[in-house]
Amino acid sequence: MTLTPLTRKLTAEDAAHFLRRTAFGATDAQIRALVGKDARTAAREALAFDQTTAPGNPFDPMQGAGPGPMIQLTRGAWLFELVYGPHPLREKLALTWSNHFVVGTDKVRNVHALAGYLGLLRRHAATASFERFTLEVAQSPAMLRYLDNDQNRRGKPNENFSRELLELFTTGIGPYSEEDVREGARALTGWTFEGGRGNQNYLEPSRFVFLERQHDPGRKTYLGHSGELRGEDIVRLAATHPRTAAFVSRKLHRAFLADTPDEAAVQGSAETWRRTNGNVRAVLEELLASEAFYASRARIIRSPVEYVVGALRTLGQPKLDAKALLNLTQTAGRMGQVLLQPENVKGWDGGREWINDTTLLLRLQLAAALTLGGKAPPLTAAPSALALTGLERPPSAAATLKLNPQQATYLHLISPEFQLA
């Protein structure tokens, strides 16, 4: 059964919850603007984003003096977009997809490959076709390099991408065999890219190419289908497999509903996925307007990047200079989340893995730097308890009554209510 829609008009706490999950956080005024709307309208409006970016981004990765500085500038540019961009849900989804279609800057060190990859994540953030999204990722120089399909040739197959296409990107472990992995790799032979190889060419454009002479054209059997299958057939069969619906829906539920999703709710989204042929936008619109979504409070531990961006958006997006933003990307890294560099191809586990004694201390230090430190953004009035905690009368409210705005905001930023979205 598909998810049951929320029928009441949004209350203030509903609106705060919606914006904590879809926009990292929001000011009191932004929350109040949503009060009284119906849930479906709020979801539809949040998903109606385009490719507009924030003006005045101070980071230009093309100015990097080498691959390392270029990657740092790319991270800075993304954090700027996360904090100041006009479409926070698009960026939240791009962050989510970067933890699904994982690539890492330990191998992908070309400015155009990284820009193309990020552009793909944004363009397909709420895609109408997961199949198309998967195909474009599979043919992106970033993925071809990261999972070695650029080395996959007739007679010398490399099974790395073929394996992860099934295990991590589409069906999940279960409905395939080692023979499917081998046959998939054969079909994907000849997919590679040209340009931008090596550290010396980190600014050189790169693009997907198909080398017919390196392709294995023979008959293959993959996921129960036989024929002279090519790479496009493999991606289509994996992306449209019935098990893909629940596997990817579960990841969306982890991003928007709970670190430990309710399986019945996941199956509801999977049903919508199958009915709409992998229309992610339709799945998200239903999910973000559902009773299950609004009943799921404080069940997601904010990731380090979400913590940083959530604090700044709740503080009203104070202007920070480029150096401060670069420092924040590094702080998020010390807390366990380096943008564009998940721990491995499986991505960040998230949930309780974000919290330990060290990362918790770093969160306290960051909250102090944003509120009490000498270089903290000006703060004449504390954000409301509703904006900071999602609750109009949080348990910590009484403790903040006699504090100045900086002290009250600091106390809320380190509270469990803020760290749990």
**Residue 380, pLDDT above cutoff 90:** no
Other beta carbons within 10 angstroms of residue 56's beta carbon come to 8
Q: What is the mean pLDDT of residues 204-214?
A: 98
Q: What is the mean pLDDT of residues 264-286?
A: 98
Tell me the pLDDT band of 198, cut-offs 50, 70 and 90: very high
299 class by beta-carbon count within 10 Å (0-12 exposed, 13-18 middle, 19+ buried): middle
**Residue 382, pLDDT above cutoff 90:** no
Q: What is the mean pLDDT of residues 213-224?
A: 97
Query: Mean pLDDT for the chain?
Result: 97
pLDDT of residue 381: 84
**Residue 197, pLDDT above cutoff 90:** yes
Contact 412, 292 (CB under 8 A): no
Residues 6 or more apart whose CB falls under 8 angstroms from that of 157 comprise 182, 185, 186, 189, 216
Lowest mean pLDDT segment, chosen from 125-139, 198-212, 373-387: 373-387
Chain segment 83-104, per-residue pLDDT in tens: 999 999 999 999 999 999 999 9
Query: What is the 8-class DSSP label of residue 383?
Result: P
CA distances from 166 to 32, 328, 330 (A): 43, 35, 33
Chain segment 126-151, per-residue pLDDT in tens: 999 999 999 999 999 999 999 999 99
Alpha helices in 158-301 (DSSP H): 160-164, 178-187, 231-239, 242-256, 263-275, 280-288, 291-295
**Residue 155, pLDDT above cutoff 90:** yes
Tell me the pLDDT band of 399, cut-offs 50, 70 and 90: confident
Query: What is the 8-class DSSP label of residue 289?
Result: T
**Residue 400, pLDDT above cutoff 90:** no
pLDDT of residue 113: 98
**Residue 396, pLDDT above cutoff 90:** no
Distance between CA 138 and CA 119 in Å, rounded?
A: 14
Distance between CA 287 and CA 274 in Å, rounded?
A: 15
Residue 114: what residue type? L
